[in-house]
Amino acid sequence: MSMAPLIDCHVLTLPGDNPAWRAELERDLAAQPVCQHWIAGIPGQIGAARAAGFALGDAPFVSFADPDDRIMGGVFAKLLQALQEKPDAPFAWAGEQRVGADLTPIGRAAVWPEGYDQRRHRNYTGAYCHGVVLIRRSVLAPALPALRACHVGAEGVLLAHLAGVHAPIPPGREPVHLPIVGRFWREHRQAVHHTFTPADRARNSRALGFEPQYLHTPRRPPAAPCATCGPPRR
């Protein structure tokens, strides 16, 4: 009798998602040690949809993916091992490679060989712990009510909150970074992060206990037009 996966991973969907990209992600996740939860997003309420997704299942670790992502083989097993070896770390994440709609690489991979850097996390909240993330359910659960009030960019501020970037982090409780590419992150005009505004940053920051000027999320350059993409996801 096989054991249940130790990871619950949710994916938020909208009717306009690219079906071919969604099928690719389904295959990627099927090869990972996760229990998949595909649920409908809530337009205009990304934080509420994320909170609903994180609440699904009862595995001790949780994660998420977007329907235009590609997930690299073996990454969840490596993240799980990293958290099992560091029992006080709130979460672990692997880096990413930005790609175009056809998976052509854009720029350098976002990996940090030196490991977690609290100052960098504080200064570049949304762009730093960005890739494939694995979170302890016990650490995340108390933050779910506040997460429901967040919108675009909720994930970045949530991870800053879980890491405790606003105060000295005790040794051994730092997030764990695996300096490997864990996913291909597709850039396209319809991606929801292109709708991010300073008002979203302020809303998310206040909901999770930060002053908005304390956390900075730089915009990424716009992607090239994509004729095959649907409307913004989630």
Q: Which helix (H) or strand (E) holds 98?
A: strand 91-99
Confidence band, pLDDT 50/70/90 cuts, at residue 159: very high
Confidence band, pLDDT 50/70/90 cuts, at residue 224: very low
Percent of the chain, pLDDT > 90?
Answer: 62
pLDDT at 127: 76
Distances (CA, A) of 44 to 47, 203, 207: 9, 13, 16
pLDDT at 16: 86
Least confidently predicted of 46-60, 152-166, 214-228: 214-228
Per-residue pLDDT tens for 67-97? 999 999 999 999 999 999 999 999 999 999 9
Domain limits, the chain? 7-214
Q: What is the CATH number of domain 7-214?
A: 3.90.550.10
Per-residue pLDDT tens for 1-57? 567 899 999 999 988 899 999 999 999 999 999 999 999 998 878 889 999 999 999
pLDDT at 126: 67
pTM across the whole model: 0.84
Least confidently predicted of 23-32, 97-106, 125-134: 125-134
pLDDT at 155: 87
**Structure letter (DSSP) for residue 190:** T
Instruction: Please give the structure tokens belonging to residue 132.
Output: 């494939």
